[in-house]
Structure 1
Amino acid sequence: MKLSYYPETDSLYIDLSEEKSVESKEVADGIIVDFDEKGALVGFDFDHTNKVVSLQKLESDSMPVKSFAIAS
């Protein structure tokens, strides 16, 4: 899983898979869900992120994470 924030558009993309998105569906205002060619969920796109979530704190609770990286 990879989280990517784009400050120029205040959007957050959460990659759930390395598969390519071929279909997108807006499920709520500014929230888009992406699917691969098999219909499997591959990511979420949040527009106007700061109106929806706080990006000041990211917390993981009981997740079996083997690798964690912070990129700039």
Structure 2
Amino acid sequence: MKLKYFEDTDTLYIEFRSDDIAESRDLDENTVIDLDAQGNVCAITFEHASKRTDVHHLTLEGIAA
């Protein structure tokens, strides 16, 4: 899993899996979800992230070894 924040565009990208993306769906005008061929969620993108999320505060819990 990867989290990337692009300050220049205020975009937060969360990648859950690195599989090939077969489809991207707009959840709303500022949120896109990426799916693989089986319909599994691969990633989600948040535009205007600093206004819509707490992007500057990250807490990790339950990290797998």
**TM-score higher than 0.5 here?**
yes
Q: CA offsets, 1:16-66, max 9 Å, x none?
A: 0010212111112301110012211100000110110122211123x1432
Number of the residue aligned with 1:54: 54
Q: Runs ≥4 in structure 1, deviation > 2 angstroms?
A: none
The structure that has the greater radius of gyration is: 1
Percent identity (aligned): 28
TM-score (norm 1): 0.79
Asked whether 1:17 is paired with 2:17, we answer yes
Distance 1:32 1:60 in 2: 23
- The residue identity in structure 1 corresponding to 2:64 is V
Distance 2:55 2:40 in 1: 27
Where relative contact order (Cα < 8 A, 6+ residues apart) is larger, the structure is 2
Q: How does 1:2-41 map to 2 (within 5 A)?
A: 2-41=2-41
Change (3 A) 1:28 1:64: same
Number of the residue aligned with 1:70: none
Bigger share in strand: 2
RMSD: 1.3
1:37 is paired with a residue of what secondary structure? coil
Query: Are the equivalent residues in 1 in contact too, given 2:15–2:44 (CA < 8 A)?
Result: yes
